[in-house]
Chain A
Amino acid sequence: MTPQFRKLIRLFYPRSWRQRYGQELADLCDEYLEVGQTSRARLVVTLMGAGIAQYLRSLAPPRRFALLFASALLTATVALAVPSDGLGLLSAGGKALPAQVPAATAKAASSAMTCGCQGQAVAPAPPAIECPPGPSCRHVFVVPGTAGTALVQLNWGGAAALEGHHLDFPGSTRCLYLRPGTGTTFFSQVVSG
């Protein structure tokens, strides 16, 4: 059995459950990987998710509720504490962004922030739609599970401020939606996928 799976199962599954099913589950994970049904990373993520769900199911209702409440509180705290810069992809890329954009320019950019191919306005929580990269797209939605590199051109009201910036997005990315907060509004255009 792959030690990685054994460790994951020990970490994320309740003891009684893994004593009964742990060995079988790890064997199945090995078999799953051998036949190339999935990637190791994806398998690890789904295994963790299923393990947490199993752990929650094993708790008595009051403890389950308390744990869910604590998780929600923690998530909300982290969400509030992290600066609002979209998915944080740009900051990870290490390129500095202009701090401010003239109000009129920002307004113009904001009004232009629609996805040309779907007609969907950009919202703080982008709708889960697929918007293929192309010249008519102001922002691009990435199908969860795909990973790759996008070449984006960032515009502030028509003035190209940053061109040819490569963004690597992981498989869990829902969309490339770039908005660095603090009143600065801009949009990205995927030049090539």
Chain B
Amino acid sequence: MRAKGTWGSPDRSLLVLTSLAGGAKHGYALIKDVESFAGVRLGPGTLYGSLSKLEAAGLVVALPADDRRHPYEVTAAGLQVLSEQLSVTAHIAEVGLGRLAAAVRA
């Protein structure tokens, strides 16, 4: 079974935005949350690579630090982008599942 190695990880930025849509989180909480809902364990370097890109694009913002750790929060623009991206993903899933069901019936 090669399926596991065939597919790359989902877009990390999408995972981070999805996690932050549930509330502001700092780095480690983000990693644990993404792992719990997507099964993807982001490394610290990968996570901060995504966070820096998202912050530069104005999609997330760092909140004042508590205990040296900055929680990050998704912005309104970030929610908009997330909504658009998830709509596309949902559409692909809907079409794919429909075709899969037809193929199984045939």
A residues near B (Cβ < 8 Å) are: 17, 20-21, 23-25, 27-29, 31-32, 37-38, 43, 46-47, 49-51, 53-54, 57, 128-129
Contacts and interface: CB of A to CB of B under 8 A. Distances in A.
A47 B42 CA distance: 11
Residue of B2, B5, B27, B43 ringed by the most chain A CB atoms within 10 A: B43
Contacts of A25: 27, 44-45, 48
A28 B72 CA distance: 14
Interface in B15-73: 27-28, 31, 41, 43-49, 51-53, 68-70
A155 to B, nearest CB: 28
Residue of B43, B44, B47, B70 ringed by the most chain A CB atoms within 10 A: B44
Contact of B47 (A28, A38, A129): A28
Contact of A17 (B28, B52, B69): B52
A111 B30 CA distance: 51
17 contacts: A20-B52, A21-B51, A24-B68, A24-B69, A25-B27, A27-B69, A28-B28, A32-B44, A37-B31, A38-B43, A43-B43, A43-B44, A46-B43, A47-B43, A50-B46, A50-B49, A128-B5
Given A24-B27, A54-B49, 16 more contacts: A17-B52, A20-B52, A24-B68, A27-B27, A27-B69, A28-B28, A28-B47, A29-B44, A37-B41, A46-B46, A47-B44, A50-B44, A50-B46, A50-B49, A53-B49, A54-B45
Contacts of A43: 43-44
A103 to B, nearest CB: 35
Contacts of B5: 128
Interface of B: 2, 5, 27-28, 31, 41, 43-49, 51-53, 68-70
Contacts of A23: 68
A126 B12 CA distance: 29
A46 to B, nearest CB: 4
Q: Is the interface of A mostly helix, strand, loop or mixed?
A: helix
